[in-house]
Amino acid sequence: MAVREQDVESIVKQILEQMAGSVAPVAVPASNTGIPSTARVAMLTELEKFELKEYPMPEVGDDDILVKVEGCGVCGTDAHEFKRDPFGLIPVALGHEGTGEIVKMGKNVKKDSAGKDLKIGDKVVTCMIFKDNPDITMYDLNKQNVGGADVYGLLPDDDIHLNGWFADYILVRGGSTVFNVSDLDLDSRILIEPCAVLIHAVERAKTTGILRFNSRVAVQGCGPIGLICIAILRTMGIENITAVDGNAQRLEFAKKMGATATVNFMEHKGIEELAKAVEDSFGGYLADFAFQCTGNPKAHANIYKFIRNGGGLCELGFFINGGDAQINPHFDLCAKEITLVGSWVYTLRDYATTFDFLKRAKGIGLPLAELITDKYPLEEINEALKKNLEMTGLKIAVVNK
Ligand SMILES: [Zn+2]
C-alpha cells in the first residue's frame, strides 16, 4: 500500500518530536542547570560609588570553578579602596573575604589545594592566585607569607569581570588556591580570611618561645583583629589575657572572646598610669607577651611599657603604612631584652590551620559569629562600605540571599 506524501510528513514529524523528547535531558540547556545567563557584579566605578553591573556568565574552562557567592566580609582594605583607590584599580570588583557554593567546574578540577575532593555543591573559599613562586607553599612552615600575591577582589578588571566576591558569581580560574570548607557554617566561612591573619600572628609569636599556657598576655586594640587574637589565645589554653582599648563596648566583647581583664585607656592619664593599670590587671605583674593590634603609631610606642623584662611582642597592627612610631631603643628594647616579631598576612599553611581554629572556637563556645554585627544585601553595598568607614560596628558583611 502506497503511503501518501502527507502521511510521510506527519510520521517524520512525529518521530522527530519523539527523538527531541528523548534527547532533551542529555543536552541540558543553560537554564536547566539553574545557572542564569548573566551575573551581577558590584563594580566600584568611582570613589565611594559601587554600581551593580550585569555581565554574561563566562565560559567555565577545564581548570576553572564557577562559584555562586553566599557572602563576603568587608575588609579595611576594601574601605581604603572605596575611599581613596590607593591601588589605582578603579573600575574594580572588590571583596576578598568571600565564600560560596560550586555550581559548575571544569573537567580537570578534582581536588582542592589541600587535597580534599571537590564536587558541585561544595562550599569553598579562595586564598590567592599562584604565580609560580616556590617560596609560597602550603607544606613548608617556614616559607613566606602570601603578601603581594594576587587575590580575587583586588584584581584589575578584565573581559570576565567576575573577579571579586561582592557579586552573584565569581569565576575561580585554574591556578588559584581553593579550599573545600563545606564543614563550616556561613558566618565562620566569612571570617576565615581575617582569622588567618591572626593564626599567622600567633604562629609568629610562638617562634619567640615566650608564649606559654600560663603566660600573661596583653592584647592592645579590640577591633575584629584584636578580638580574634583573644579568641585564638583562648583556644590555645591561655588563661591570663588583658584587653586594652578605648571603647567600653569593645572591651565587653573582648571578655566574651575570652579576655580575663580589660583596661580602658580613656580612664588613664599618661603612659605610666596606663602601664600601671595593665600591671594591676595581672595582679601586679607586667605582661609576658603582648600583641599590638591597632594601626596607631602611638599605640606601638606605648606597648613596650606593658611588657616585662625578657618578654615578647608581636606587632601586627600596621597592615598598611600608618606612619613612623617613636620608641626609645635603649629602654624599650635593649635594657628590657624584648623579643620582637612582626606579622603580616598569612602563609597558605596558616589558612588551612584557620579552618580547625574556627571549629575549636565554636566547640568551646566562643561567640565568633557575633563579630559580624551588620549584614547587607548586595544591592546595599554602598551602605555596607559606609558603615565600615563609620567604625560603629565590628565586622560588616555582604550576604546574598
Ligand atoms: Zn581582608
Ligand 1 center to residue 194 CA distance, Å?
6
Rounded CA separation 263/271 (Å)? 13
Ligand 1 center to residue 97 CA distance, Å?
6
Ligand 1 center to residue 172 CA distance, Å?
18
Ligand 1 center to residue 193 CA distance, Å?
6
pLDDT score of 138: 63
pLDDT score of 140: 63
Ligand 1 center to residue 153 CA distance, Å?
10
Ligand 1 center to residue 196 CA distance, Å?
10
Ligand 1 center to residue 130 CA distance, Å?
18
Topology (CATH level 3) of domain 196-342:
Rossmann fold (3.40.50)
Task: Give 42's strand partners.
Answer: 52
Topology (CATH level 3) of domain 35-182+367-399:
Quinone Oxidoreductase; Chain A, domain 1 (3.90.180)
Ligand 1 center to residue 110 CA distance, Å?
28
DSSP character for 168? Answer: S
Q: Is 144 exposed, middle or buried (0-12, 13-18, 19+ CB in 10 A)?
A: middle
Ligand 1 center to residue 221 CA distance, Å?
17
Ligand 1 center to residue 223 CA distance, Å?
13
CATH 3.40.50.720 domain position(s) in the chain: 196-342
In 207-351, where do the E strands start and end?
A: 216-220, 240-245, 261-264, 287-292, 307-315, 339-342
pLDDT score of 112: 94
Ligand 1 center to residue 14 CA distance, Å?
60
pLDDT score of 24: 40
pLDDT score of 28: 42
Ligand 1 center to residue 331 CA distance, Å?
35
What is the chain's pLDDT, residue by residue, as a tens digit (401 residues)? 444 555 556 655 555 555 444 444 343 444 557 899 999 999 999 999 999 999 999 999 999 999 999 999 999 889 999 999 998 999 999 999 999 999 999 999 999 988 999 999 999 999 877 666 666 666 665 666 777 678 899 999 999 999 999 999 999 999 898 999 999 999 999 999 999 999 999 999 999 999 999 999 999 999 999 999 999 999 999 999 999 999 999 999 999 999 999 999 999 999 999 999 999 999 999 999 999 999 999 999 999 999 999 999 999 999 888 999 999 999 999 999 999 999 998 888 898 899 999 999 999 999 999 999 999 999 999 999 999 999 889 999 999 97
Ligand 1 center to residue 298 CA distance, Å?
23
CATH 3.90.180.10 domain position(s) in the chain: 35-182+367-399
Ligand 1 center to residue 164 CA distance, Å?
12
Helix (H, G, I), strand (E, B) or coil at 23: helix
Rounded CA separation 394/281 (Å)? 25
pLDDT score of 246: 96
Ligand 1 center to residue 90 CA distance, Å?
18
Ligand 1 center to residue 382 CA distance, Å?
17
Ligand 1 center to residue 205 CA distance, Å?
21
Ligand 1 center to residue 277 CA distance, Å?
32
Ligand 1 center to residue 195 CA distance, Å?
10
Q: Is 194 exposed, middle or buried (0-12, 13-18, 19+ CB in 10 A)?
A: buried
Ligand 1 center to residue 349 CA distance, Å?
17
Ligand 1 center to residue 12 CA distance, Å?
62
Rounded CA separation 154/320 (Å)? 15
- Confirm whether pTM is higher than 0.85: yes
